[in-house]
Chains A and B, each alone.
Chain A
């Protein structure tokens, strides 16, 4: 395919994301780190075993150091969200985006105040109700995260979809096929498959340690693995039979007969903003194979439903489909 160069939209997106670093990375990590320092200072005065409020039955006792978890948890969420905003095609100006932008700060305040607060309070006998830090953390987080999300700078506009590349109509005796693919970035695919694989392994290990029957739960991620692997990469074919999109392992298969194709266009999509995420998505009247952001083929059916495929060279694909219908 034609190599894409580092363009103005990519530069704009990088610049926009850099401006978010204070509220999405620096502040959340600093708050969690401060909480950890406070805990370490208080630790010598704490009993060896404290009540860990977020235990399964609410009264489980644990090490006071378990509150240190607020730092890695905050770092993980901040890093994942930060990574998700890497490309200009990944964001759209929606309310949901504001929630994502405020989430790291909310989480940092909530986790730090709730975990560290409730642990440190136990150094003082007769301290206030243990639920108070939880509530305080939630509210403080809501205010801080809300301010961060609402005051974040407006993201750059989505790059426009390329113009449709019209193809001459078919003459008698002519045959035409367009073969393309919709592919997820290798890094993202590796993360998704790695996480599922790790989940399966963890369940098996935990199951064998507790009760072998529990290991059977690994069947769930085990079954999901091929399904998810299959929707990471799609082969798309457009010919006289219509449009066919087939997952890497032969399933799922989505087909639209040519007689049911009412129109074909090139559109720009942002998977998170438009479909709530990446992969095979179902929305109101729309089915989307959204493996990435950017140009996509939009097929409108005669009954009004739409099929969106993030194929490479969507401009040609749409032109071919229009020519086949002519």
Chain B
């Protein structure tokens, strides 16, 4: 699994880590039942605080994408299949917004508005 974060970005590091995992699920690189690397290993490699990685994993657990089990670590749940369904639709929406001149932040706000 590839994890890439930008310490200079205004987006919090934990959100970036969670976003990387979601993207990997969407692309099908992480399937249901697969285990994420331990938070300690990720924290050491990315040179971030352990709690930053744990926060990312907790967020992913709260949305149901992973399960945190003592001794087994973080495991991708069956919800991965549902995320995967969106794989084709999201790029379509993004491309359409670009064609229409709707900025990414405006699109994000629109999606948020529609989901609430």
Contact = CB atoms under 8 A, between A and B. Distances in A.
Interface in A191-242: 235, 237, 239-241
Interface in B56-91: none
Contacts of B8: 171-174
Interface string A163-203: 00001000111111111100000000000000000000000
Given A172-B8, A174-B5, A179-B3, 6 more contacts: A176-B2, A176-B4, A179-B41, A235-B41, A237-B41, A237-B45
B104 interface: no
20 contacts: A1-B29, A1-B34, A2-B28, A167-B2, A171-B8, A173-B9, A174-B4, A174-B8, A175-B6, A175-B46, A175-B47, A176-B3, A178-B1, A179-B42, A235-B37, A239-B45, A240-B47, A241-B45, A313-B29, A320-B2
A179 B6 contact: no
A316 interface: yes
Nearest to B4: A176
Nearest to B42: A177
B54 interface: no
B41 A173 contact: no
Given A237-B41, A313-B29, A177 B46 contact: yes
Contacts of A241: 45
B7 A175 contact: yes
A174 B45 contact: no
Contacts of A177: 2-3, 42, 45-46
Contact of B6 (A171, A178, A235, A313): A171
Query: Top 4 A-B pairs ranked by shortest CB distance?
Result: A173-B8, A177-B45, A239-B45, A179-B37
B31 interface: yes
Interface of B: 1-9, 28-29, 31, 34, 37, 41-42, 45-48
A249 B47 CA distance: 24
Given A172-B8, A173-B7, A316-B2, A2 B46 contact: no
Contacts of A1: 29, 31, 34
A313 B1 CA distance: 9
A163 to B, nearest CB: 16
A99 B84 CA distance: 48
Contacts of B3: 176-179
Contacts of B4: 174-176
B53 to A, nearest CB: 11
A186 to B, nearest CB: 14
Contacts of A316: 2
A179 B1 CA distance: 5
Contacts of A179: 1, 3, 37, 41-42, 45
Contacts of A175: 4-7, 46-48
Point out which of A171, A173, A177, A235 has the most chain B C-beta atoms below 10 A from its C-beta. A177
B45 A2 contact: no
A239 B29 contact: no
A261 to B, nearest CB: 16
A241 B29 CA distance: 24
B15 to A, nearest CB: 15
B29 A178 contact: no
Nearest to B30: A1
Nearest to A175: B46
Contacts of B5: 174-175
Contacts of A235: 37, 41
A176 to B, nearest CB: 5
B54 to A, nearest CB: 16
B46 A239 contact: yes
A40 to B, nearest CB: 53
A179 to B, nearest CB: 4
A235 B29 CA distance: 17
Nearest to A178: B2
Nearest to B36: A179
Nearest to B27: A2
Contacts of B31: 1, 3
Contacts of A240: 47
